[in-house]
């Protein structure tokens, strides 16, 4: 399957998708409940969170990137896009 996707030029897209879907496991249950991985684009994982969790992600950025890159090594940064109500610390997810 990987050879077929590579032949179609989709290897990077598959690696990005896998990385995006590993976020809950890598971030941990508590962080993943408050910080949502939105997309991977040009080596950047874009996440949404409230300010308190943005600080936590920033403090752990190197560790998170190392874990997310295990096997694929496609990310070079984590950046924030917008605010997510779930990231406010109140435990509610925007729906």
pLDDT digits (tens, 9 = 90+) for 54-84: 999 999 999 999 999 887 778 999 999 877 6
The model's pTM = 0.74
Q: Pinpoint the alpha helices (H) of 2-42.
A: 2-7, 11-27, 29-34
Set out the domains of the chain in order of their start, with CATH numbers.
Answer: 2-88 (3.30.300)
Angle among Cα 81, 27, 16 to the nearest 5 degrees reads 65
| 87 DSSP 8-state letter | G
Using a 10 angstrom Cβ sphere, with 0-12 exposed, 13-18 middle and 19 or more buried, the burial of residue 45 is: buried
Pairing mode of beta strands 44-48, 36-41: antiparallel
pLDDT of residue 88: 46
């Amino acid at each position: 399957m990987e050879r077929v996707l590579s032949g179609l030029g989709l290897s990077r897209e598959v690696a990005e998708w896998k990385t995006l879907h590993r976020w809950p496991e890598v971030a941990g249950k508590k962080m993943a409940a408050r910080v949502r991985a939105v997309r991977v684009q040009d080596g950047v994982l874009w996440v949404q969170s409230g300010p308190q969790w943005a600080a936590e992600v920033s403090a752990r950025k190197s560790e998170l990137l190392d874990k997310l890159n295990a096997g694929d090594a496609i990310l070079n940064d984590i950046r924030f896009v917008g605010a997510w109500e779930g990231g406010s610390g109140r435990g509610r997810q925007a729906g």
